[in-house]
Amino acid sequence: MAMETGLIVHPYMRPERTARQTFDWCVQQAVEADKIGFDSIMFSEHASQRWENIPNPELIIAAAARQTERIKFAPMAHILPHHNPAKLAIMVGWLSQILEGRYFLGVGAGAYPQSTYIHGIKNGEDTQFTNEMVRESLEIMERIWKREPFFYEGRFWNAGYPEELHGEEGDDQHMLADLSPWGGAPEIAVTGFSAKSPSMKFAGERGFRPMSIFSGLDALKTHWDTYSTAAEANGHVADRARYHVSQTVFVADTDKEAKRLVMEGPIGYCFERYLIPIWWRFGMMDGFIKDAGADRADVDLEWVVDNVFCVGSPDTVVDKINTLFEASGGWGTLQVESHDYYDDPAPWFNSLAMIQKEVAPKISLPVS
């Protein structure tokens, strides 16, 4: 089976973009990715970052639902400690019904401390309890989706589901709306990041779909080990075909042109000003330096483009991804990191089309 294609939209917009420009670019990408044949598109949820300015992925998903036909959507992820679980369960159920199954649900414990602070959790506090919040929130959501009567008084939230009463013939007041997800329950995905990722363990225990933010081969290997060990211990099959990994990928006709478009375009601009500092701050750069056997002093934008990204002609990108697959064991969906091509989408959409038509069909999971 060939690798599937996805987009992950954070969306890394230049700080001067308006909310309307960001919203339009996100919907435009969903429509184009659907036409090109991408399998999925995910929108992240961040309430604090100027460069990652989607606070409500569900609004973009709803807007794109009517203009797309095949592509599947996911919030990646709803940060569960930042939501009332009953409200979220109802919204997710309704949205997945609107999408008639083209929806899966990403859940997470948190990302940036500023966003967590906005939601009432102080910086510097031991935030381990946010993982407990995720478990409690999911338990509530799953019980609401079952539509059986309960009342739950939890550590963080109270919630319930009422009994459906029997009414008189011709009186519909007793009828409860069915806001459970399409098919009963959505497929759930979890993103892992740190070396000994509790998120990956949780995903494995529950048989959820795993996703890794690419931060070097060691992290990928430990993520899969953690996930598959927890999955097998709990009676789930750990299937690499369900595994999503996000990566920066850009394809053009030649290696030279692809590198120029990345270095001089929106991807280079974003990495210089935002993501290279973030990669240092969150330890991701150390993983890449180790993989390349490089020196910290060597690291600049060009080094990242040559050694970390998958950039080049279709043949070069096929080679780079196949090399990563052989070293890591591979994954089922390449989740391409989206960037701000709002002013000139053509190079970006050309790249996505080449990824779909000329790269993905040539990548298969290694036979184990």
Q: Judged by CB under 6 A, does residue 44 bind ligand FMN?
A: yes
Instruction: Determine if 104 is a binding residue for ligand FMN (CB under 6 A).
Output: no
The residue range among 105-113, 114-122, 137-145, 299-307 that interacts with ligand FMN, by the rule CB under 6 A, is: 105-113
At residue 221, what is the residue type? K
Q: Percent helix, strand, coil in the chain (nearest 5)?
A: 45, 15, 40
CA angle, residues 303, 309, 311, in degrees to nearest 5: 100
Q: Does 76 bind ligand FMN (CB under 6 A)?
A: yes
Q: Which of 108, 312, 314, 332 binds ligand FMN (CB under 6 A)?
A: 108
Q: Is 287 in the site for ligand FMN (CB under 6 A)?
A: no
Which DSSP state fits 283?
Answer: T
Element (H, E) at 106: strand 105-108
- Which is closer to ligand FMN, CB of 56 or CB of 194? 194
Judge contact between 196 and 222, C-beta under 8 A.
yes
H/E element, 136: helix 129-146
Contact 335, 38 (CB under 8 A): no
Select the residue interacting with ligand FMN from 47, 111, 144, 252 (CB under 6 A). 111
* Binding test (CB under 6 A) with ligand FMN, winner from 115, 199, 215, 333: 199
Overall residue count recorded for the chain in this entry: 368
Kindly state the smallest distance separating residue 294's Cβ from ligand FMN, in Å: 22
109 binds ligand FMN (CB under 6 A): yes
Q: If binding is defined by CB under 6 A, does position 33 make contact with ligand FMN?
A: no
For ligand FMN, give the closer residue by CB, 222 or 350.
Answer: 222
Toward ligand FMN, which CB reaches closer, 96 or 130? 130
**198 belongs to the binding site for ligand FMN (CB under 6 A):** yes
User: Does the footprint of ligand FMN cover residue 138 (CB under 6 A)?
Assistant: no
Q: How many residues form the binding site for ligand FMN (CB under 6 A)?
A: 18
x/- track of binding to ligand FMN for residues 158-197 (CB under 6 A)? ---------------------------------xxxx--x
Interface mask toward ligand FMN for 227-266; x: CB under 6 A: ----------------------------------------
User: In angstroms, what CA-CA distances link 79 with 88, 112, 232?
Assistant: 10, 11, 26
**What is the rounded CA–CA span in Å between residue 346 and residue 366?**
33
Cα dist. 248→7, 260, 282 in Å? 10, 15, 17
Contact 65, 98 (CB under 8 A): yes
Phi and psi for 50 in degrees, rounded to 5?
A: -60, -40
In angstroms, the CA 15 to CA 34 distance is 27
Taking the complex as a whole, the smallest distance from the CB of residue 213 to ligand FMN amounts, in Å, to 5
Binding site for ligand FMN (CB under 6 A): 10, 44, 76-77, 106, 108-109, 111, 191-194, 197-199, 213, 278, 282
